[in-house]
């Protein structure tokens, strides 16, 4: 499919703007940017004719006159920030506002053994070491044109290295968006390396006020070395006039174990591409997801679990509640490559659809080339059980609280899997508030 002049002009315009903004965070790795630009000029940004993006077409929205320059001074109430942090005294808290690292609100301690955090614009050799790792790993990944856009227009980011076998301090990274500036196109990248046998609890928490339009194209690259144990959490509350795309690539080495959690609570157009690459033997991956789609929100979760070597285990469990005019997609791919014998791969997706105008598209997709494997998948879509509803009402509960109770039970199946107590409480209270749940446990 040939690109139209308009498509090419769009890429050129964005590139020019990016150059004018004068940010080139990958300048020591020019090939990353040039390869991505090439891909964009060849294929353009995916629209409704693109299989992977046919339910999620924001190619028209990107034509807006976006701002690629990050604001240098931001007015923000300290209390506004504080009220949105996880109440964990022991945690490392890293606050970004509109893409800018806010050191005054962050609690970062680089003198802790085995913990290194940098803003990507630090441009030091430490950052370059981490980028080097990423540049090596990324050769293996599935191509995605929004990831290319992120590489081409990158205007913010961080690098994080954890080399700590004790796992004493959870890391919380906040990505806040407030009312300023309008029409920001933010291409943010986080590169995380968890070293051999290290343990890490990492959370990326996205929160936006609803007021202004923005386009956030986020990318997280997580490299887990041999024997690493990582809990990676994503909590998303995006604006009701926003576009958010989050590409996550997770590279697993031998004997590593990764649990990912994706909580998507709001967003006008929100898309997650989560790719797990089980690159060596004896990897274990658990992918948990919970999405709550209401208003006119559109939330898509696309996951890939790529079994490339024998003796690995993966288990994926995503649940969703779709209310009002919400639209959602779950697409779960499992690849079992020819030599990935003795693979165990499981997947389950369960949805509750609460109104006649809510939509969910669910698509399990297993491609198995090895013959000695155990794989299963299942998807269910239903409504609130009428029998359960009648039972609770016959005990004196009104419809609203009976509904809240049943939805709570549905959702907490996933929330209970979060091991970090402070975080579990943080997510739990958000969900309960959302459900109008007022029961004591």
Partner 1 sequence: MLNIQDLKASIEGNQILKGINLEVKAGEVHAIMGPNGSGKSTLASVLAGREEFEVNGGEVSFEGENLLELSPEDRARKGIFLAFQYPVEIPGVSTTNFLKSAINQIREYNGKKPMDAVHFLKHIKEKMKLVEIDQSLLSRSLNEGFSGGEKKKNEIFQMAVLEPKLAILDETDSGLDIDALRIVANGVNKLRSKDNSVIVVTHYQRLLNYIVPDYVHVLYEGRIVRSGTKDLAFELEEKGYDWIKEEFNSTPA
Q: Which residues bind partner 1 (CB under 8 A)?
A: 385, 387-388, 390-399, 401, 405-406, 408-410, 412-413, 438-441
**Given the complex with partner 1, which of 51 and 441 has the nearer CB atom?**
441
How many contiguous H segments (helices) and E segments (strands) does the chain have?
8, 19
**Given the complex with partner 1, which of 182 and 409 has the nearer CB atom?**
409
Query: Residue 132 CB, nearest distance to partner 1 (Å)?
Result: 46
7 in helix, strand or coil? helix
Query: Residue 54 CB, nearest distance to partner 1 (Å)?
Result: 35
**Given the complex with partner 1, which of 53 and 318 has the nearer CB atom?**
318
Q: Which of 45, 267, 1, 51 is nearest to 146 (CA)?
A: 45
Contact (Cβ atoms closer than 8 angstroms) between residue 274 and residue 304: yes
Query: Residue 23 CB, nearest distance to partner 1 (Å)?
Result: 47
Residue whose structure tokens are 């945690």: 91
**Given the complex with partner 1, which of 82 and 399 has the nearer CB atom?**
399
Tell me how far apart the alpha carbons of residues 209 and 264 are, in angstroms, rounded to a whole number.
15
DSSP code string of 332-371: EEEEE-TT-TT-EEEEEEEEEE-STT-EEEEEEEEEE--S
Query: Residue 95 CB, nearest distance to partner 1 (Å)?
Result: 34
**Given the complex with partner 1, which of 80 and 391 has the nearer CB atom?**
391
Query: Residue 358 CB, nearest distance to partner 1 (Å)?
Result: 21
**Given the complex with partner 1, which of 77 and 441 has the nearer CB atom?**
441
Q: Are strands 313-322 and 284-293 parallel, antiparallel or unpaired?
A: parallel
Tell me how far apart the alpha carbons of residues 184 and 181 are, in angstroms, rounded to a whole number.
6
Q: How far is CA 358 from CA 44, 160, 394, 400, 402, in A?
A: 31, 39, 28, 19, 20
Query: Residue 387 CB, nearest distance to partner 1 (Å)?
Result: 5
Report residue 158: phi and psi, to 5°.
Answer: -145, 160
């Amino acid at each position: 499919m040939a690109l139209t002049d308009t498509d090419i002009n769009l890429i050129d315009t964005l590139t020019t703007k990016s150059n004018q903004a004068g940010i080139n965070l990958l300048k020591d790795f020019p090939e990353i940017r040039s390869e991505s630009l090439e891909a964009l000029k060849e294929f353009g940004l995916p629209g409704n004719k693109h299989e992977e993006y046919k339910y999620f077409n924001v190619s028209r929205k990107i034509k807006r006159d976006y701002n690629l320059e990050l604001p240098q001074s931001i007015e923000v109430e300290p209390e506004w920030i504080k009220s949105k942090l996880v109440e964990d005294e022991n945690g490392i808290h890293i606050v970004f506002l509109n893409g800018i690292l806010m050191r005054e609100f962050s609690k970062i301690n680089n003198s802790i053994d085995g913990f290194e955090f940098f803003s990507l614009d630090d441009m030091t050799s430490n950052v370059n070491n981490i980028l080097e790792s990423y540049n090596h790993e990324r050769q293996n990944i599935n191509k995605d044109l929004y990831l290319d856009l992120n590489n081409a227009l990158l205007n913010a980011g961080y690098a994080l290295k954890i080399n700590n076998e004790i796992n004493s301090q959870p890391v919380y990274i906040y990505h806040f968006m407030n009312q300023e500036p309008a029409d920001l196109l933010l291409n943010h990248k986080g590169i995380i390396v968890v070293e051999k046998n290290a343990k890490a609890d990492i959370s990326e928490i996205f929160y936006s006020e609803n007021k202004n339009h923005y386009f956030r194209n986020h990318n997280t690259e997580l490299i887990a070395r041999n024997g690493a144990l990582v809990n990676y959490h994503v909590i998303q509350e995006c604006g009701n006039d926003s576009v958010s795309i989050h590409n996550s690539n997770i590279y697993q080495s031998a004997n590593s174990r990764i649990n990912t959690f994706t909580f998507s609570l709001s967003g006008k157009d929100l898309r997650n591409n989560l790719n797990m690459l089980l690159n060596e033997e004896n990897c274990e991956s658990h992918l948990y997801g919970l999405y709550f789609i209401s208003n006119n929100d559109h939330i898509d979760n696309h996951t890939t679990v790529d079994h490339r070597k024998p003796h690995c285990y993966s288990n994926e469990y995503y649940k969703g509640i779709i209310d009002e005019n919400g639209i959602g997609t779950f697409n779960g791919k499992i690849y079992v490559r020819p030599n990935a014998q003795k693979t165990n791969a499981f997947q389950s997706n369960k949805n509750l659809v609460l109104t006649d105008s809510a939509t969910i598209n669910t698509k399990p997709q297993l491609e198995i080339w090895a013959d000695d494997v155990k794989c299963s998948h299942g998807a269910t879509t239903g409504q609130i059980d009428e029998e359960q509803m009648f039972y609770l009402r016959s005990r004196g509960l009104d419809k609203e609280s009976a509904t809240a109770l049943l939805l709570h039970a549905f959702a907490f199946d996933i929330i209970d899997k979060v091991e970090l107590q402070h975080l579990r409480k943080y997510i739990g209270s958000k969900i309960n508030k959302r459900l109008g749940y007022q029961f004591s446990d």
